[in-house]
């Protein structure tokens, strides 16, 4: 029996799609790359990090790469620059499917320009946009922030109070590495020269405390005088030092003597007679 000429087209309709076998792409995949025609590329938008650019999937049109802190992923398929990875964010913090470009190598670094950078990626970005032409002029010197001498951010404020009360002086310092902070009282020797007495020493009414913070590479020191005596009056020095240098600042404590109330004197009975 002869086969119907319409049977073969019907069989083709019943077969599964053969697009992948013929080099065609299904819906949802990236488009087939044809010959590169730069004149058909969209006008490049201003990149969040100028100079960080790359070619698209077809290697034809220029596209921007995200700098550290830029959005990545999402429907647009935004990519991160060199040395960066696209990290997911907490639910609700950004549109679904988007992440944040973060440096693959975490931690602050010190650059050859003496500046601290939050990451090696930030240093590379700075080097890329530097006006200096030759490569390698700006590079990482060490992990961690650059060392610098202490700087007094908040000096001690002068205070006053009456005897028997209490006073407190504070001093806030920034430095790398962490400085050693001490309190000293400025004294005068019998010869008239300035002498620094380190505290608390033998003073039972003086306490000194130091702790890190409130921010990174900062330290805060306090000196508490309680109870306050007249001889505690004077100038107090906050001194900070590390391997790079030192700094100091002063505050004055003024003590007002609290006069004792005089008991009333009643006249003797004989005074009226």
For 147-191, write each residue's pLDDT tens digit: 999 999 999 999 999 999 999 999 999 999 999 999 999 998 888
pLDDT at site 29: 42
- CA–CA distance, 262 with 14 (Å, rounded to integer): 116
**Per-residue confidence (pLDDT) for residue 134, from 0 to 100:** 55
User: Which fold, 43-103?
Assistant: Omega-AgatoxinV (4.10.40)
Predicted local distance difference test score (pLDDT) of residue 46? 63
Spatial neighbors of 37 by CB under 8 A, at least 6 apart, are 60
Looking at residue 27, its pLDDT comes to 36
Q: What's the confidence (pLDDT) of residue 110?
A: 95
What is the CATH code of the structural domain delimited by 149-256? 2.60.40.10
Locate the domains of the chain by residue range: 43-103, 109-146, 149-256
pLDDT < 70: residue spans in the chain: 1-31, 44-53, 76-77, 90-97, 131-136, 260-273
Residue 2 in tokens: 């002869």
Q: What is the pTM of this model?
A: 0.63
Do the first three CATH levels of 43-103 and 149-256 match, i.e. the same topology? Answer: no
Q: Which segments within 69-202 are labelled E, that is strand?
A: 71-73, 79-80, 84-88, 98-103, 109-111, 116-117, 140-143, 148-154, 159-162, 167-176, 180-188, 194-198
Q: Quick one: tokens of 149? A: 């001498």
């Amino acid at each position: 029996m002869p086969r119907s000429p319409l049977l073969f087209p019907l069989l083709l309709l019943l077969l599964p799609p053969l697009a992948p076998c013929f080099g065609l792409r299904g819906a949802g995949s990236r488009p087939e790359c044809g010959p590169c025609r730069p004149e058909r590329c969209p006008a490049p938008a201003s990149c969040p990090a100028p100079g960080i650019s790359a070619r698209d999937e077809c290697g034809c049109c220029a596209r921007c790469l995200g700098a550290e802190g830029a959005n990545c992923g999402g429907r647009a398929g935004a990519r991160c620059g060199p040395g960066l990875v696209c990290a997911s964010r907490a639910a609700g913090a950004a549109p679904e499917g988007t992440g944040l470009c973060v440096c693959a190598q975490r931690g602050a670094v010190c650059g050859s320009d003496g500046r601290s950078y939050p990451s090696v990626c930030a240093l590379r970005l700075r080097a890329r946009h530097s006006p200096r032409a030759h490569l390698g002029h700006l590079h990482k010197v060490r992990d961690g922030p650059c060392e610098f001498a202490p700087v007094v951010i908040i000096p001690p404020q002068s205070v006053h109070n009456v005897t028997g009360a209490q006073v407190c002086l504070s001093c806030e310092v920034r430095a790398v590495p962490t400085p050693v902070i001490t309190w000293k009282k400025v004294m005068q020797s019998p010869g008239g020269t300035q002498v620094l007495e380190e505290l608390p020493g033998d003073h039972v009414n003086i306490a000194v405390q130091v702790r890190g913070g409130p921010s990174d590479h900062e330290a805060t020191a306090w000196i508490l005088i309680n109870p306050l005596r007249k001889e505690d009056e004077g100038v107090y020095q906050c001194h900070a030092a590390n391997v790079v240098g030192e700094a100091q600042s002063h505050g004055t404590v003024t003590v007002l003597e609290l006069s004792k109330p005089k008991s009333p004197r009643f006249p003797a009975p004989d005074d009226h007679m």
